[in-house]
Amino acid sequence: MNRSLFKRYLSKIGCYAVTVALIIFFLFPIYYIVTMAFKVDVDAMAYPPKWIFTPTLKNFVEIFQDGALIKSLINSVIVSSACVLVGLAAGTPAAYALSRLKCRWVSSVMFFILAARLIPPMSMLLPIFSLFVKLNLVDTHLGLILLNLTFVLPLNVWMQKSFFDEVPREMEEAAEIDGCTVIQAFVLVVLPLIAQALVATAIFSWIQAWNEYLFALTVTRSNARTIIVAVNNYINFEQMQWGKIAATSVIISLPVMVFSFFVRKYLISGLSAGGVKA
User: Segment 118-177, which members bind another protein (CB under 8 A)?
Assistant: 118-131, 133, 146-147, 149-150, 153-154, 157, 176-177
Please tell me what DSSP assigns to residue 75: H
d(CA 175, CA 187): 11
- Write down the least CB distance from residue 12 to another protein, Å: 7
- Write down the least CB distance from residue 223 to another protein, Å: 18
Residues 53-72 that bind another protein (CB under 8 A): none
| Total of residues contacting another protein (CB under 8 A) | 98
Q: Taking a C-beta distance cutoff of 8 angstroms, is the pair 186, 198 a contact? A: no
Residues 72-111 that bind another protein (CB under 8 A): 86, 89-91, 93-94, 96-98, 100-101, 109
- Write down the least CB distance from residue 93 to another protein, Å: 4
- Write down the least CB distance from residue 70 to another protein, Å: 18
- Write down the least CB distance from residue 206 to another protein, Å: 12
Q: Does 272 bind another protein (CB under 8 A)?
A: yes
- Write down the least CB distance from residue 86 to another protein, Å: 8
Nearer to another protein, 57 or 115 (CB): 115
Residue by residue, DSSP assigns the chain as: --HHHHHHHHHHHHHHHHHHHHHHHHHHHHHHHHHHHTS-HHHHT-SSPPSS-----HHHHHHHH-HHHHHHHHHHHHHHHHHHHHHHHHHHHHHHHHHH---THHHHHHHHHHHHHHS-HHHHHHHHHHHHHHHT-TT-HHHHHHHHHHHHHHHHHHHHHHHHHHS-THHHHHHHHTT--HHHIIIIIIHHHTHHHHHHHHHHHHHHHHH--HHHHHH--SSS--HHHHGGGGB-SS-B-HHHHHHHHHHHHHHHHHHHHHTGGGHHHHHHHH-S--
In the Cβ-directed half-sphere of 178, how many Cα atoms lie within 13 Å?
A: 11
Nearer to another protein, 110 or 193 (CB): 110
- Write down the least CB distance from residue 61 to another protein, Å: 20
What string marks each residue from 181 to 210 as x (binds another protein by CB under 8 A) or -? xxx--x--------------------x--x
Q: Does 5 bind another protein (CB under 8 A)?
A: no
Residues 202-261 that bind another protein (CB under 8 A): 207, 210-211, 213-214, 217-218, 228-229, 231-232, 235, 242, 245-246, 249, 252-253, 256-257, 260-261
Residues 28-57 that bind another protein (CB under 8 A): 29-30, 32-33, 36, 45-49
